[in-house]
Amino acid sequence: MRLKDKVAVVTGAAQGFGEGIARRFAEEGAKVLVVDLQGDKADAVAAQIGGIGMGVNVASRDALEAMFDRAEAELGPVDILVNNAGVTHLPQPMQDVTEEDFDRIFAVNMKAIFHAAQLLVPRMAERGGAVINVSSTAAISPRPNLTWYNASKGWVNTVTQSMAVELAPKGIRVNAICPVAGETPLLQSFMGQDTPEVRAKFLSTIPIGRFTTPQDIGDAAVFLASPESGMVTGLCMTVDGGRCI
């Protein structure tokens, strides 16, 4: 019960890594607002873990403000924010990625963190808290044909460290988790196609020999959100089975 009675908001939490984080937070005693663009799926996860579900488009500042308002009204002041919602483009040469795809990546992977920080920091500054940004090993060891996605996650790592320095005097810790590709709905997008041969080639780059699981990321997030990491801020933690060594 390391997060007992803490109020946590987790975006992109209806599936994949976000769901893993929401479930682990609830297991550790947190009151969780499960946020996802797919509101019905967010409600389903929330019902299973004793939280509250909410459909939110994180690319909208107004929607994010409504998200924080609801969290405070129904659960209490927000102690933990996990910016997990993210999108990618299919693997392809960088010149072939459409402007529409680029704008979507910018809005979800980057601008959503900008809006969330501006909206939450004034509310959180009086009592401190923890912000966790879900990044990627793509920010550290980029793969070809994912250039604009890689760049968006590089931005996440830089903004994590910059926020950490600026917000430390306010008692707000900011860290990032950098997973290698995992068994989530985005896996096929990263690989281009999901075949035994493509999986084997991908897994050959991960020394531990398996994909990241939602449990792996949930465990890391619990540590970064808990008092156990009270001296940890600005960390971009790789949870990658040795991929980036």
CA distances, 17 to each of 61, 164, 192 (Å): 23, 23, 20
| pLDDT (0 to 100) of residue 168 | 98
In a domain, 158, yes or no: yes
Output the pTM of the full model.
0.94
From CA 70, how far away is CA 150, in angstroms rounded?
Answer: 33
| pLDDT (0 to 100) of residue 191 | 62
From CA 144, how far away is CA 237, in angstroms rounded?
Answer: 22
Structural domain boundaries enclosing 178? 7-239
Opening angle at CA 233, ends 229 and 236, nearest 5: 100
The CATH number assigned to the domain holding 32 equals 3.40.50.720
In a domain, 176, yes or no: yes
User: What domain count does the chain have?
Assistant: 1
96-147 pLDDT per residue, tens:
999 999 999 999 999 999 999 999 999 999 899 999 999 999 999 998 999 9
In a domain, 245, yes or no: no
HSE-up of 215 (CA within 13 Å, CB side)?
1
Per cent of the chain over pLDDT 70 is 96
156-204 pLDDT per residue, tens:
999 999 999 999 999 999 999 999 988 766 666 666 667 788 888 888 9
In a domain, 244, yes or no: no
In a domain, 84, yes or no: yes
In a domain, 63, yes or no: yes
Terminal Cα-to-Cα distance of the chain (whole angstroms): 33
In a domain, 114, yes or no: yes
Q: Is 4 exposed, middle or buried (0-12, 13-18, 19+ CB in 10 A)?
A: exposed
Is 149 catalytic? The answer is: yes
Look-up of token digits 């680029």: 102
Residue from 17, 25, 149, 190 carrying the catalytic annotation: 149
Count each helix (H run) and each strand (E run) in the chain, helices first. 9, 7
